[in-house]
Copies of this chain bind each other. A is one copy, B any other.
């Protein structure tokens, strides 16, 4: 692994375990097996590392079977569930960030700008996906306010699912991730055409 990747990898691990507050660049350098000077060669400070982590999330989401592209291929229940799984797994992998989301963005203007930009793009993609599902006859016709509601609540439940579990004292397991998918499934059920077979 390249040094830069090693730093990011070690940072994610430490942040997830202890939160960004109590982890220093020295801790990260030690965990990555490099000198603090070498770390500073790649990243000016802890905030720069956090931004680099967020850039990876954006990159991952934008490539491959992201929200939009998965649906652009074929709007189907199976593809929808795969996207939900992908999103919730991503949020678990980088859980420190979603745990501290709003605290972090209030401390770093650049991160805030990146988060706002990403949220806007993702919400637009979800909107297009919903339209594609209506077009494909999986969802029933909806008015604009229903589309907005579905888009926003899918986003909120997906983004904060692990935070919700954690603040309820739940240990997070793969079964809990699947409960999150089930939440999204239930949210959509009233908007599905009755002929569509939904897994239970």
Contacts and interface: CB of A to CB of B under 8 A. Distances in A.
B146 A156 contact: no
Contacts of A160: 156, 159-160, 163
Interface stretch (A39-47, A68-76, A78-86, A165-173): A165-173
A157 B156 CA distance: 7
Interface in A88-105: 98-103, 105
A64 B152 CA distance: 31
Contacts of A193: none
Could you say how many copies of this chain the assembly holds?
2
A21 B166 contact: no
A92 B160 CA distance: 17
A106 B73 CA distance: 40
Interface of A: 19-22, 98-103, 105-107, 112, 115-116, 119-120, 123, 145-146, 149, 152-153, 155-157, 159-161, 163-164, 166-169, 182-183, 186-187, 190
Given A19-B103, A112-B169, A116-B169, 16 more contacts: A21-B103, A100-B102, A102-B163, A102-B166, A105-B166, A120-B169, A145-B186, A146-B186, A152-B164, A155-B164, A156-B156, A156-B161, A157-B157, A159-B164, A159-B167, A190-B190
9 contacts: A99-B103, A100-B103, A101-B163, A115-B167, A116-B168, A120-B168, A153-B153, A156-B164, A190-B190
